Amino acid sequence: MSVLIIADLQNGQLKKSNAEIISYGAAIAKQVNGSASVLVLGNCSDNLANLGAWGATNVYQVADAALSEVNPSLYISAIESVINQIDASIIIFSNNPTSKAVAPGLSARLEAGLVSGASALPELVNGFTVKKTVFSGKAFADVNILTAKKIIILNPNSVNIPYTAVESKISTITVSLPASSRKVTAVNKIEGEIPLTEAEVVVSGGRGLKGPENWGVLLDLAKVLKAGTACSRPVGDAHWRPHHEHVGQTGIQIAPNLYIALGISGAIQHLAGVNRSKVIVVINKDPEAPFFKAADYGIVGDLFEVVPKLTAAIQELHAAG
């Protein structure tokens, strides 16, 4: 079986999630005695040969200007064409807005079984069974894909597979794109911030900060940690912070290595968006805050006293080298 991994790009650059999805796809290829290939849609300013560091033996690029911006119908057609040309059986996406827009349509086009939210390598003892998260990450389900073509959407930061470097063969592949009924008329990009889906460390604030005028306490900590900044839904709804920083079930779902929550009670809707974080630190003066039950580390105290001391301590560590 041939495995095709859809590269994750942003502004023509490879995102950090590619290391995980390519190593995941390469591990599956080894399981099924197949090969692992990566598909890059549109232009990319990065060196594609570097993808071999994560186990991709072949890298195919469709360098069509029409694919420079995400257009689901064109992406589906391009991916389907490449799948047919290289006879790929297993297609891997990273769990992000692009895959959510593209993978279901591709599944219908290929009549392929799809598992979204995968969190482990497939089990091949009794078929092709993929473990995935359900109920907003509170439980797991094992799904057996019975179709010849299989699509997997991998949750970020969910598997830890060692990289096996190989030499990649880079090829340009041509596809015939149909006329699209959709047209991208504008793209609004957030500049100068660490994207939450890419941030390894995220500092998030809730109503415990009492108002937007106090957000400097959080921003100072985020700066010394080189972290992304986020907020709970009530903060976004109150316009203390922009809505693109809202994390939770109805906002962005993230999986950083470290998530620090300041003044957030930890309602179940918020936890649903951050519970895949590897380490959760909660700072809250309410010892009964639900977030403490999900935290790896917790500090019961006034964040306006605790956080400045934490920021100063981190600055001292940096200064000491």
The domain segmentation of the chain, as residue ranges, is: 2-172, 201-319
Tens-place pLDDT, residues 25-56:
999 999 999 999 999 999 888 889 889 889 99
The yes/no answer on whether domain 2-172 falls in CATH 2.40.30.260 is: no
Q: What is the spatial distance between Cα 28 and Cα 122, in angstroms, rounded to a whole number? A: 7
pLDDT at residue 79 above 90? Answer: yes
Structure letter (DSSP) for residue 52: G
Tell me the DSSP string of 166-200.
-PPEEEE----PPPPS----------SS--TTT-S
pLDDT by residue (tens digit) across 273-290?
Answer: 998 899 999 999 999 999
Q: What are phi and psi of 318, to 5 degrees?
A: -65, -40
Give the mean pLDDT of the chain.
92
Q: pTM, whole model, 2 decimals? A: 0.84
Examine domains 2-172 and 201-319 and report if their fold is the same.
yes
Spell out where 67-180 has E strands: 90-94, 113-118, 129-134, 139-144, 150-154, 169-172
Q: Which CATH class is domain 201-319?
A: alpha beta
